[in-house]
Amino acid sequence: MKVACIGSGLIGSGWATYFTLKGLETTLYDIDDGKLDEAVDRIKSNLKFMYSENVIDEREFNRCLERITTTTSMEKAVKDADLIQENGPENYEIKRSIIQNIEKYGKNDAIIASSTSGLLVTEIAKDADYPERIIGAHPYNPVQLIPLVEITKGDRTEEKYINKAVEFYRSIDKEPIVLNKEALGFISNRLALALYREAVEIVERGICSVEEIDKACCFGPGLRYALMGPNLIYQLGGGAHGIRGVLTHIGPSVEKWWEDMADWKKWPEGYGERVQKGVNEEMKNRRESHGNTNDEIAMFRDKGLIMLLKYHDKM
């Protein structure tokens, strides 16, 4: 199976890294050679990290690079591709324009999978000639490490293309989940932003600091979430009575918490500046071995992800 990545930014180069790690011939497209050169540097850096963590050896490192082809020609990128991973900006008009170019040169039965973080596929595919084969396939960053792919369909997407996409992503060890209906933000981002809204609320009320929010998540529920989802967590919390028992037990109390929790729909004014100061302070307070800069913290994250993925038999 041949794949093409359209757009070579952080997500596009992450997909290209992952595809080549899984042995796929991968064509990476962008509008100019400078962007492609930057993407190749990112891919090399990703692969060097995999090598340093003993995920691949030197021979496979070189083979991965050989599987990547870069081009500024859309025709060359998509003409033989069976799956086309679109990674353009999170903008309907831009994505529609990209898809028009893909359809001009690509195979009529190729799956066009948008890496959109939460746009509606119905709107992305509105002007397409072949909307039945356009799907959303949202990865989680870093794409080359986190297995999740959220698959969503538009009102004209045909089920056979959803099934083919699920089969493909599973075949390369991703963990696809399929939405039954369209929803802005899909599943994981809606869950993450619901939690983050309450995190913002707690800080704004002066209940705790930005750093304490992150510690509460990381060393509390986050440890469990890395191993299982909330339904299984509550299933275990209920003992012999399961999730039904634990929700019955804590239900009345939780309803009081909900009454006191945030339900606003717009960010508090000025929060971006305030939270940045808190995060800067948090980064200074981290152990040196855990990283104090963005790059160092990203490395700490990625090394931890490798260990978790191995525990999950995903690497």
Q: Does domain 2-178 have CATH number 3.30.465.10?
A: no
Rounded distance between C-alpha atoms, residue 255 and residue 250, angstroms? 9
For residue 265, the one-letter residue type is K
List b or e across 228-238, with b for residues whose CB sees 16 or more CB atoms inside 10 angstroms: eeeeebbbebb
Quick one: tokens of 313? Answer: 């038999």
For residue 65, what pLDDT is reported? 97
The closest of 56, 45, 60, 42 to 5, measured between CA atoms, is: 42
Whole-model pTM?
A: 0.92
Domain borders along the chain are: 2-178, 188-311
CA separation (Å) from 295 to 217, 276, 300, 302? 21, 17, 9, 11
Mean pLDDT by 10 residues, the chain (315 residues): 96 98 97 97 97 96 97 97 97 97 95 96 96 97 96 97 98 97 94 97 97 97 96 94 93 94 97 97 97 97 96 91
Task: List 4's β-bridge partners, or say none.
Answer: 27, 84
CATH number given to 188-311: 1.10.1040.10
* Structure tokens that stand for 36 in this block: 């492609």
The span from the CA of 179 to the CA of 188, in Å, is 11
Give yes or no for a contact between 6 and 87, defined as CB atoms under 8 angstroms apart.
yes
C-alpha distance from residue 59 to each of 14, 47, 66, 173 (Å): 20, 12, 11, 21
User: What's residue 315's pLDDT?
Assistant: 86
249: three-class secondary structure by DSSP: helix
Give φ, ψ of 7 to 5 degrees.
Answer: 105, 125
Q: What is the pLDDT of residues 106-132, one digit of tens each?
A: 999 999 999 999 999 999 999 999 999
What CA–CA distance (Å, rounded) separates 120 from 196? 22
Which of 132, 7, 19 shows the shortest CA–CA distance to 74?
7
Whole-angstrom distance, CA of residue 214 vs CA of residue 68: 38
User: Quick one: DSSP state of residue 267?
Assistant: P
- Decide if 2-178 and 188-311 have a common fold: no
CA distance 288 to 33: 37
What is the structure's pLDDT at 1?
A: 85
Helix (H) or strand (E) segment spanning residue 264: none
Q: Are strands 134-139 and 111-114 parallel, antiparallel or unpaired?
A: parallel
Would you call the peptide bond into 268 cis, given omega within 30 degrees of 0 as the criterion?
Answer: no
Helices assigned H by DSSP within 22-176:
33-52, 58-66, 74-78, 92-105, 121-124, 159-171
- Residue 107's nearest CA partner among 125, 91, 129, 92 is 129
- Helix (H) or strand (E) run with residue 127 in it: none
What is the residue-wise DSSP string for 200-232? HHHHHTTSS-HHHHHHHHHHTHHHHHTTS-HHH
Tokens 């981290």 appear where?
286
Contact present, 280 and 119 (Cβ < 8 Å): no
